[in-house]
C-alpha cells in the first residue's frame, strides 16, 4: 500500500488556487418540524491526530447547528492543562482554553460529554473524543497502528507510525524492523512512504504469516528529516498478532449523509458525512468528479476534512447556511482500504438544499474577478489583428434607489472604475438600464436608456424574448436598440483542464444567448452578441461576446471584437 499527502485536501487546494467563492443562503420556512436530532461536531482545531500544536493554543469546536452555550458547563474535559474554560464565539463555535500550558511533546485528549446540547435540548449522541500532540523540537513516536497487543490483524495490513516531527524515510528503512519470534523469518522487508500529520507507512513486501506474533522495533537511530542529530534516542517496541485472513475485498460506501437523492436538505446541515465499510487509507480518497459549486463552498469553509479515529468515517464540513437551492453532486471511487484493496466501482451521490436558487445573485459589495482572452480584427479575415489576455475586477454596488450597478475596476484594489452597467431587479426579470464607459479616456460618461431592456427572465425558463429601447446622445443623435434573447436548456459546464484533480463542472448552468442590434439615426451602427452561462447560486460563470460595428474613428467598417472569460468570485 502506498501513501502520500491526502489527495482530498490537495485537490481542494488546487480548486482554491483558481476559485474562491462566497455565497449566501435562504431562510428556513416557518413550519420547520421540531428538532429531535442530535448535534454533530463538524470540525475541530486542532484536528484529531494533529501534531506540532502550540502549548498555549486554544481549541475550537464547530457544530452543525445552533447550540445551548450554558450546556457546555462541566461537559468539556482535557487530559492535561487543568480546568477547561469555554467561550462561545457564535452559537455554533466554542473556544476552549486551559488553565496552564501543556508540556511539550504530549498527547492532549479532549472529551465533549453528552450533556452538551443543541438549542432544542438534544445532546450529543455519544461522547466526542479527539486528541492531538503538542509542539516539540524533539523527535518522538506519537502513535502507531496496529495498537499494542492487537490481535486478529489482517495479514495484508500495513504498519503505520506517527512522529511528532517529520521523520527521515531512509533512517526508518535503516532503523526499523518487523520481526517474528518463531524463527520462520527474522525480519520482514517493507517499503516506506510518507503521509500527512507526520505519519509514515511500512508496507510489507508480502502478506504476513497467519496467527503469528510480530514485534516492531522503532530504533533509536531514526532521525528527523533534515536534522540527523535529532534522533529518537531510545528504542520503541510494540507487538501485534495476525489473524488467518488475507483481505482481498475492496471497501464500500455504506452511507452518505445527507442521503443520496435528498431534495430538501437543510441549509444548516453543517457537514457531509461518508461512512465506509472498513477503515480507509485517507491518502487514496478523492472525488472522481464533483460540481464546482460544492467544491468551492468546501474550500471557502477552510476546514480540512476529518477522518474518524478508526478511519471509516469522513466528515466534510460545510458552511452554514448553504445557498438556497444549491445542487450538490459527487462521484466517488478508487479509494482503498489499509490492505491496499481499491474500490473500482464508482458511487454517485447528489442532494439539493431546500429553497429556490438565485440564478444571478446581486448582493451589495459582491466582488468578482474575470479572466480570459480578447481579439479584434476585420470581419472575414481569419487571423485577428490584435489579441491578448484580459482581466477585470467587478463589484456589485446597490444604489440608494434600489438599482444595481455592476462596476468594472482596473485592478483588485477596487478604486478606479472603468465601466459600470446599471440594472433593475424585478420580480419577473432583470432589466438593463444603461451603462457608463470611459472609452479609454478615464472619464465615465453615463448613457441611460429611455426604458429598460429585458436582460434576463426570472425565473429562468427555456424560451425566447425581445425588447427595444432608444437613447439620444447630444452631438451624435438617436440610438435605437433592438434586443432579442434566448434561454437554452441547462447543461453541465466542464472545467476539466482548468482545475487539477477530479473532473470539475458547473452543474446545470443555464445557457443564455442575447443579440442587440443598434442603429444611429436609422443607420446600422453595431451588433453585439453574447452567450452567458449562469450557474444557480453563483450567477454568470462564463461568457463569450462578439461585436461587429460600422466604421468609426480609425476602425474600418466590419471591425469586430471578441472576448471570452470565466468568472472567479470573492465575497468580501
Q: Are 253 and 347 in contact (CB under 8 A)?
A: yes
Q: Any bridge partners for residue 213, and if so which?
A: 241
Same domain, 392 and 314: no
For residue 549, tell me if it sits in a domain. Answer: yes
Q: Are 260 and 329 in contact (CB under 8 A)?
A: no
pLDDT at 440: 62
Same domain, 456 and 516: yes
Quote the CA–CA distance of 361 and 506 in Å, as a whole number: 16
Query: What's the chain's length in residues?
Result: 572
pLDDT at 551: 84
pLDDT at 441: 64
Number of domains into which the chain is organized: 2
Which of 325, 341, 357 is the last residue before a domain boundary?
A: 341
Same domain, 305 and 430: no
pLDDT at 37: 81
Task: For the chain, 572 residues long, give each residue's pLDDT as a single digit of tens.
Answer: 233 345 565 555 555 444 433 333 333 334 446 778 888 888 888 888 888 899 999 999 988 888 999 999 999 999 988 899 999 999 899 999 999 999 998 889 999 999 999 999 999 988 999 888 999 999 999 889 898 999 988 888 889 999 989 999 999 999 999 998 765 556 899 999 887 778 898 989 988 989 999 999 999 999 999 999 999 999 999 999 999 888 889 999 999 999 999 999 999 888 899 999 998 888 888 899 999 899 888 877 767 788 876 788 998 888 888 999 999 999 999 999 888 899 999 999 999 999 999 999 898 998 888 888 889 899 888 899 999 988 888 999 999 999 999 999 988 888 989 899 999 999 999 999 999 987 666 688 889 999 999 999 999 999 999 999 999 988 889 999 999 999 999 999 887 655 556 888 999 999 999 999 999 999 999 999 999 999 999 889 889 999 998 887 777 888 888 888 876 655 54
Same domain, 386 and 471: yes
Which of 275, 307, 341 is the last residue before a domain boundary?
A: 341
pLDDT at 443: 80
Same domain, 335 and 395: no
Record the pTM. 0.71
For residue 419, tell me if it sits in a domain. Answer: yes
Same domain, 266 and 395: no
Q: Any bridge partners for residue 67, and if so which?
A: 118
pLDDT at 21: 36
Same domain, 429 and 327: no
The side-by-side arrangement of strands in the sheet containing 50-53 is 50-53, 128-134, 107-112, 76-78
For residue 461, tell me if it sits in a domain. Answer: yes
For residue 46, tell me if it sits in a domain. Answer: no
For residue 448, tell me if it sits in a domain. Answer: yes
For residue 110, tell me if it sits in a domain. Answer: no
Same domain, 332 and 403: no
pLDDT at 29: 37
pLDDT at 28: 36
pLDDT at 111: 94
Same domain, 417 and 326: no
For residue 29, tell me if it sits in a domain. Answer: no
Same domain, 401 and 328: no
Centroid of chain to Cα 93: 20
For residue 321, tell me if it sits in a domain. Answer: yes
Same domain, 277 and 390: no
Same domain, 401 and 315: no
What is the extent of the structural domain holding 287? 7-21+255-341
Burial class (CB in 10 A: 0-12, 13-18, 19+), 335: buried
Count of alpha carbons within 13 angstroms of residue 368, beta-carbon side? 26
CA distances from 354 to 264, 321, 357, 466, 491 (A): 4, 11, 9, 33, 21
> Which is nearest to 130 in space by CA: 57, 74, 78, 64?
78
Amino acid at each position: 500500500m502506498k501513501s502520500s499527502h491526502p489527495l482530498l485536501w490537495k485537490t481542494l487546494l488546487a480548486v482554491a488556487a483558481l476559485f474562491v467563492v462566497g455565497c449566501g443562503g435562504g431562510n428556513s420556512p416557518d413550519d420547520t418540524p421540531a428538532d429531535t436530532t442530535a448535534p454533530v461536531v463538524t470540525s475541530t482545531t486542532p484536528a484529531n491526530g494533529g501534531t506540532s500544536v502550540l502549548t498555549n493554543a486554544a481549541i475550537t469546536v464547530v457544530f452543525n447547528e445552533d447550540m445551548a452555550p450554558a450546556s457546555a458547563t462541566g461537559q468539556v474535559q482535557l487530559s492535561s492543562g487543568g480546568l477547561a474554560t469555554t467561550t462561545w464565539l457564535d452559537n455554533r463555535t466554542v473556544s476552549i482554553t486551559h488553565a496552564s500550558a501543556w508540556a511539550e511533546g504530549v498527547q492532549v485528549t479532549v472529551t465533549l460529554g453528552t450533556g452538551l446540547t443543541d438549542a432544542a435540548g438534544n445532546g450529543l449522541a455519544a461522547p466526542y473524543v479527539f486528541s492531538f500532540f503538542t509542539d516539540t523540537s524533539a523527535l518522538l513516536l506519537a502513535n502507531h497502528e496496529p495498537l499494542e497487543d492487537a490481535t486478529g490483524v489482517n495479514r495484508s495490513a500495513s504498519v503505520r507510525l506517527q512522529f511528532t516531527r517529520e521523520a527521515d524515510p531512509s533512517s526508518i528503512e535503516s532503523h526499523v524492523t518487523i520481526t517474528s519470534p518463531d524463527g520462520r523469518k527474522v525480519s520482514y522487508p517493507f517499503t516506506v512512504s510518507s503521509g500527512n500529520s507526520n505519519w509514515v507507512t511500512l508496507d510489507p513486501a508480502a502478506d504476513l504469516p497467519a496467527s503469528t506474533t510480530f514485534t516492531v522495533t522503532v530504533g533509536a537511530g531514526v532521525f528527523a528529516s533534515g536534522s540527523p542529530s535529532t534522533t529518537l534516542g531510545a528504542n520503541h517496541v510494540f507487538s501485534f498478532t495476525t489473524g488467518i485472513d488475507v483481505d482481498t475485498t475492496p471497501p464500500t460506501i455504506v452511507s452518505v449523509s445527507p442521503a443520496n437523492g435528498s431534495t430538501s436538505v437543510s441549509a444548516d446541515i453543517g457537514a457531509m458525512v461518508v461512512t465506509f465499510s472498513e477503515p480507509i487509507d485517507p491518502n487514496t480518497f478523492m472525488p472522481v468528479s464533483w460540481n464546482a459549486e460544492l467544491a468551492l463552498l468546501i474550500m471557502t469553509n477552510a476546514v480540512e476534512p476529518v477522518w474518524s479515529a478508526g478511519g471509516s468515517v469522513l466528515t466534510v464540513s460545510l458552511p452554514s447556511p448553504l445557498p438556497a437551492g444549491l445542487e450538490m453532486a459527487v462521484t466517488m471511487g478508487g479509494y482503498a482500504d489499509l490492505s491496499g484493496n481499491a474500490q473500482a466501482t464508482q458511487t454517485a451521490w447528489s442532494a439539493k438544499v431546500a429553497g429556490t436558487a438565485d440564478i444571478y445573485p446581486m448582493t451589495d459589495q459582491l466582488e468578482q474577478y474575470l479572466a480570459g482572452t480578447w481579439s479584434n480584427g476585420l470581419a472575414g479575415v481569419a487571423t485577428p489583428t490584435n489579441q491578448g489576455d484580459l482581466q477585470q475586477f467587478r463589484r456589485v454596488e446597490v444604489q440608494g434607489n434600489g438599482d444595481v450597478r455592476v462596476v468594472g475596476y482596473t485592478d483588485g484594489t477596487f478604486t478606479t472604475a472603468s465601466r459600470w452597467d446599471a440594472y433593475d431587479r424585478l420580480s419577473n426579470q432583470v432589466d438593463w438600464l444603461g451603462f457608463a464607459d470611459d472609452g479609454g479616456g478615464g472619464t465615465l460618461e453615463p448613457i441611460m436608456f429611455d426604458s429598460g431592456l429585458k436582460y434576463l427572465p426570472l425565473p429562468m425558463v427555456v424560451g425566447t424574448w425581445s425588447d427595444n429601447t432608444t437613447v439620444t446622445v447630444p452631438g451624435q443623435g438617436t440610438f435605437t436598440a433592438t434586443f432579442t434573447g434566448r434561454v437554452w436548456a441547462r447543461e453541465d459546464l466542464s472545467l476539466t483542464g482548468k482545475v487539477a484533480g477530479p473532473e470539475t463542472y458547473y452543474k446545470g448552468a443555464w445557457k443564455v444567448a442575447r443579440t442587440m442590434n443598434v442603429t444611429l439615426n436609422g443607420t446600422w451602427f453595431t451588433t453585439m452578441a453574447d452567450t452567458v452561462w449562469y450557474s444557480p447560486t453563483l450567477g454568470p460563470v462564463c461568457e463569450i461576446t462578439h461585436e461587429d460595428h460600422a466604421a468609426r474613428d480609425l476602425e474600418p467598417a466590419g471591425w469586430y471584437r471578441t472576448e471570452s472569460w470565466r468568472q472567479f468570485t470573492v465575497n468580501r
